[in-house]
Structure 1
Amino acid sequence: MLAACAQQGVLEEPVPLGDFALGLNIVVADNVQKVPISREATVEEWETAMKAAVAARFGRYEGTKLYNIGISVDGYALAPPGIPVVAAPKSVLVITANIWDDAAQKKLNAEGKQFTVFESLSGETIVGSGLTRTKQQQMDALTFNAAKKVEDWLLENPSWFGLTAEEVAAAMKARREAAKQAKSDVPAEEPAPSAVPKPK
């Protein structure tokens, strides 16, 4: 049996995002559509989970201007338990994001940016996370990945936040190198003691 516990993703070090600071964190799920084979999640549950993911990721930035993020939860499928492994569906979340300059009361993107995200692949999700994760764990994983997609999108538009593409590229490179260094600094596990008889 695979372990039933699941972990939400770990936040990477934030990449400098110019003058960005999170203003309003708006999430609406009034018109969310559910795929037929799915666990049930309420509008309130989706709004709460998505707001928490946005706050966790973007609340770390301490710029000098406020930017409002608005997200619509458009559709979802939460893999249910009890489905045979060969037909185990994957959990998925579809959102549309928009961003505003708060002081200028101006929307920065011409059209909403839609993202489709899945749960991160692991030994638990490869057979269908409905067998190994609770509904809340699935929602936490999906909204975590959705917030990361929104962050990546903002980094693709550095001029919104007073940055150049070169500055963002340098920051991304530094983050990748820091992540590699962190992995290499993790001590290796000590080998289990061998069954060698103690000297008499």
Structure 2
Amino acid sequence: MFHTARRAFLGLTLLALTACADAKAVTDETPLVNLGDFSFGHNVVVAKDAQKAAFSRTATEEEIETALKSAMQARLGRYDGDKLYHIGIKVDAYGLAAPGIPVLFTPKSVFVLSVNVWDDSQAKKLTDKPKLLTVFEGASGATLVGSGLTRTKEEQLEILSRNAAMKVERWLQENGQWFGVDPVEAESSDADEARAALEVLAPEAASEVANGN
């Protein structure tokens, strides 16, 4: 029981990466951020061989790819800078909180993504290595007891995809030099993202790391 509680506590600690609230659907009133000369080119999402997290509903590759591509286009397709940039996303893992899971785990939906960016004009990849992003559902009354009890699979995918697109947008801001503008301060470190991803991909290993083993 102690081991289980420790794992649950670790999971809740890593959820510090969670946004305070889920990203809302993009509308004409949704503000743009400063992305300089950015204009969205190819929108590539690949979910083949994505690992399904424990306590997750099952989603097909097509369902995940469609939801993510739609959210990415809605958020980043609004920018009309002078240069095209292509974004490729590999879905390494996903979790869609299932109903009927003990409250101790309070499972939230999650994506683990590897993201790359290409500058079309230079025919050059800007990312030396894929950027790891771990994206959770936001904290709300709908997720305090696990969103599997309050949201359908389709709702989870839609909300999680919107959160992912907003996190990618923020990461682009953190690399503003690519687009000719000053970068903003990073919200989380690579180590933070990796620890959160490890909890999804290998929870036992994450528990050992947290315990100092």
Q: State the TM-score, normalized to the length of structure 2.
A: 0.71
Alpha-carbon distance in structure 2 between the residues aligned to 1:36 and 1:15: 36
For residues 94-142 of structure 1, the C-alpha deviation after alignment (integer angstroms, 9 at most, x for no partner) is 1111100112210011010011111011001011000000001111111
Alpha-carbon distance in structure 1 between the residues aligned to 2:134 and 2:182: 27
Alpha-carbon distance in structure 2 between the residues aligned to 1:21 and 1:119: 27
Alpha-carbon distance in structure 2 between the residues aligned to 1:19 and 1:140: 28
For residues 156-188 of structure 1, the C-alpha deviation after alignment (integer angstroms, 9 at most, x for no partner) is 1111111134xx68xxxxxxxxxxxxxxxxxxx
Instruction: Name the SS for the 2:93 alignment partner.
Output: strand
Unpaired stretches in structure 2, ≥5 consecutive residues: 1-21, 186-213
8 Å contact 2:34–2:173 — kept in the other structure? no
Instruction: Name the SS for the 1:126 alignment partner.
Output: coil
In structure 2, what is the equivalent of residue 47 of structure 1? 65
8 Å contact 2:55–2:101 — kept in the other structure? no
In structure 1, what is the equivalent of residue 10 of structure 2? none
Alpha-carbon distance in structure 2 between the residues aligned to 1:142 and 1:41: 13
Tell me how far 1:8 sits from its aligned partner. Answer: 5.8
In structure 2, what is the equivalent of residue 9 of structure 1? 24
In structure 2, what is the equivalent of residue 122 of structure 1? 140
Within the alignment, does 1:32 sit opposite 2:50 as a pair? yes
Alpha-carbon distance in structure 2 between the residues aligned to 1:115 and 1:107: 18
Percent of aligned pairs with the same residue?
56
8 Å contact 1:27–1:72 — kept in the other structure? yes
8 Å contact 1:29–1:73 — kept in the other structure? yes
Q: State the TM-score, normalized to the length of structure 1.
A: 0.76
Instruction: State the one-letter code of the partner of 1:9.
Output: K
Of 118, 124, 133, the residue aligned with 2:151 is 133
Instruction: State the one-letter code of the partner of 1:50.
Output: L
Within the alignment, does 1:145 sit opposite 2:190 as a pair? no
Of 79, 88, 98, the residue aligned with 2:106 is 88
Alpha-carbon distance in structure 1 between the residues aligned to 2:54 and 2:25: 31
Alpha-carbon distance in structure 2 between the residues aligned to 1:109 and 1:85: 40
Instruction: State the one-letter code of the partner of 2:76.
Output: F
Report the RMSD for the aligned CA atoms in angstroms. 1.7
